[in-house]
């Protein structure tokens, strides 16, 4: 596969000439069992999504992960991954979700490189994006991510005017999906046909009322003629040549 990186000039030319609507990106972390219900909602609404996975933490059967809001969070079994995520974009979240800034050079390179190779083997497609565990990042970490062949990485802050980023390896997002000002931020970006992005963990949807609210949110975005779901990688590369 040959990758041609999009230029900022081409991106802004499309904005000015109105060649597309506002781009909307969503990114979900950790590869957990609640992603099954979430991904079903995305499919029903023809919504694209990016899932950040840690291939070093999956076992053949589902395994306990942690407790969130008095609920057990379970990691998916390795055999489940292709069926759940094949229709979506997959990025690396490292092998085992450590604080990357605290690792030796060898450990860092293994976390970053091995996770890409394993995910590409599982999904039989390129993995070009990275998400920093715990939002932990410095220049050494970015250098390892770049050396491993990634072309973008989700940054460590929420912000406005997120695209094009100053550094593709620090691609900051608009907000968390539960942010109180989610729709205010969404509407501001919609007015300029820019890029709006949100992130989260499906385990943060803790009851039926929240699931219903989430599906309503996805339905609203999907039905808006002035918005278009996008994968993150589509912002950074042109079609394969």
Q: What percent of the chain shows pLDDT beyond 70?
A: 90
- In this structure, of 102-116, 133-147, 162-176, 194-208, the range with the lowest mean pLDDT score is 162-176
Query: Mean pLDDT across the stretch 70-95?
Result: 97
Taking the C-alpha atoms of residue 166 and residue 169, their distance in angstroms, rounded to an integer, is 9
Taking the C-alpha atoms of residue 235 and residue 56, their distance in angstroms, rounded to an integer, is 28
The whole-number pLDDT of residue 5 equals 52
Mean pLDDT computed over every residue of the chain: 90
Q: Is the pTM of this model over 0.75?
A: yes
Rounded to the nearest 10°, the torsion over CA 220, 232, 60, 34 is -20
Residue found under tokens 């450990």 = 107
| CA-closest candidate to residue 98, choices 132, 146, 62, 145 | 132
**Backbone angles phi and psi of 111, in degrees to 5:** -60, -40
**Is 8-236 assigned to CATH 3.20.20.370?**
yes
| CA-closest candidate to residue 57, choices 96, 103, 90 | 96
Q: How does pLDDT run across 188-240, given as a tens digit for each residue?
A: 999 988 999 999 999 999 999 999 999 999 999 999 999 999 999 999 986 43
The whole-number pLDDT of residue 234 equals 93
Q: What percent of the chain shows pLDDT beyond 90?
A: 82
Q: How does pLDDT run across 155-173, given as a tens digit for each residue?
A: 877 777 788 888 999 999 9
């Amino acid at each position: 596969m040959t990758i041609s990186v999009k230029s900022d000039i081409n991106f802004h030319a499309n904005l000015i000439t109105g060649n597309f609507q506002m781009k909307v990106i969503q990114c979900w972390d950790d590869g957990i069992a609640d992603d099954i219900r979430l991904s079903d909602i995305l499919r029903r609404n023809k919504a694209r999504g990016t899932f950040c996975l840690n291939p070093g933490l999956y076992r053949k059967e589902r395994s306990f992960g942690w407790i969130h809001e008095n609920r057990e969070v379970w990691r998916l079994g390795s055999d489940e991954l292709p069926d759940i995520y094949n229709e979506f974009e997959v990025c690396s979240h490292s092998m085992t979700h450590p604080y990357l800034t605290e690792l030796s050079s060898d450990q860092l390179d293994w976390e970053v490189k091995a996770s890409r190779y394993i995910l590409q083997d599982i999904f039989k497609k390129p993995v070009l994006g990275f998400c920093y565990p715990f939002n932990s990042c410095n220049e050494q970490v970015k250098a390892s991510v770049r050396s491993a062949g990634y072309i973008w990485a989700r940054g460590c802050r929420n912000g406005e005017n997120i695209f094009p980023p100053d550094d593709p390896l620090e691609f900051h997002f608009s907000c968390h999906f539960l942010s109180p000002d989610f729709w205010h931020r969404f509407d501001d970006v919609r007015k300029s046909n820019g890029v709006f992005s949100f992130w989260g963990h499906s385990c943060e949807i803790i009851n039926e009322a929240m699931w219903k609210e989430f599906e309503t949110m996805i339905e609203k975005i999907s039905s808006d003629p002035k918005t278009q779901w996008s994968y993150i990688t589509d912002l950074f590369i042109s079609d394969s040549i």
